[in-house]
Amino acid sequence: MGCIQPEPVTGKQIRSTQSGALDSTVFHWWMKRDSQRSKLYAAERQMRNAGVDLKPLATNEQVASTCAAIEAALPVSFKGSNYFAPDVQISALPQGIGGDYCPTEGIRLSTEHANAYVLVHEYCHHIAATSLGLSHAPHGPEFAGLLLGLTSAILGTEAARYLKGAYQDHRVKATPVRQLARACARS
């Protein structure tokens, strides 16, 4: 897990293997304490246990198609000069990890747990890091709002309804996507 950063980090300051335009990117991640991570993970667990279809991704074509759907669902205001689509790969990850996001490497999905929901979760980390233009906690209200909005767009309204109910049950705070989009448009 990353440490809290006192200042934004530019792409030029980190070594990258991503194909996106990382040099000009300013990352605003890990600048606040991740105080609702356990709540958000509990809400996700509740949604999984409810039997929501998380849409398994078994092929590279399915991953590419889901990435294209995420890009299409993302409001234009999130795609400023700082934004680029992340690289995505399926690889063996340590047991229990469904996926991870690293600004230098992109998104990695576990071979055992590759599904559309995990991809959306990791994609939201990338969107928050490159588009929000403000400091945020990795699983804070801004991230939770993005996750809820893209869950609805990619997995459907039923999945989003379960996730929203789980947010309420576990007291996860979420900033509405409309509010985030307005903030991105102003920055």
- Is 57 in a helix, a strand, or coil? coil
- Tens-place pLDDT, residues 72-83: 999 888 888 778
Q: Among 72, 144, 150, which residue's Cα sits nearest to residue 116?
A: 150
- Report the alpha-carbon distance of residue 157 to residue 164 in Å, rounded: 10
Taking the whole predicted model, whether its pTM rises above 0.85 is answered as no
Q: Residue 65: enclosing H or E segment and its boundaries?
A: helix 60-73
Q: Among 109, 104, 140, which residue's Cα sits nearest to residue 123?
A: 109
In the sheet where 99-102 sits, what is the strand order? 88-91, 106-110, 99-102
For residue 168, the cross-strand partners are: none
How do strand 99-102 and strand 88-91 relate by DSSP bridges?
unpaired
- Tens-place pLDDT, residues 65-109: 999 999 999 988 888 877 888 889 888 888 888 898 887 788 989
pLDDT tens track, the chain, 187 positions: 344 444 444 444 445 555 555 444 444 445 556 789 899 999 999 999 999 999 999 888 999 999 999 999 998 888 887 788 888 988 888 888 889 888 778 898 998 889 999 999 999 988 888 887 666 778 889 999 999 999 999 999 999 999 999 999 999 999 998 888 887 776 6
CB-side neighbour CA atoms (13 Å) of 135: 11
Radius of gyration of the chain (CA): 15
Query: How do the domains of the chain map onto residue ranges?
Result: 32-186
For residue 90, the cross-strand partners are: 109
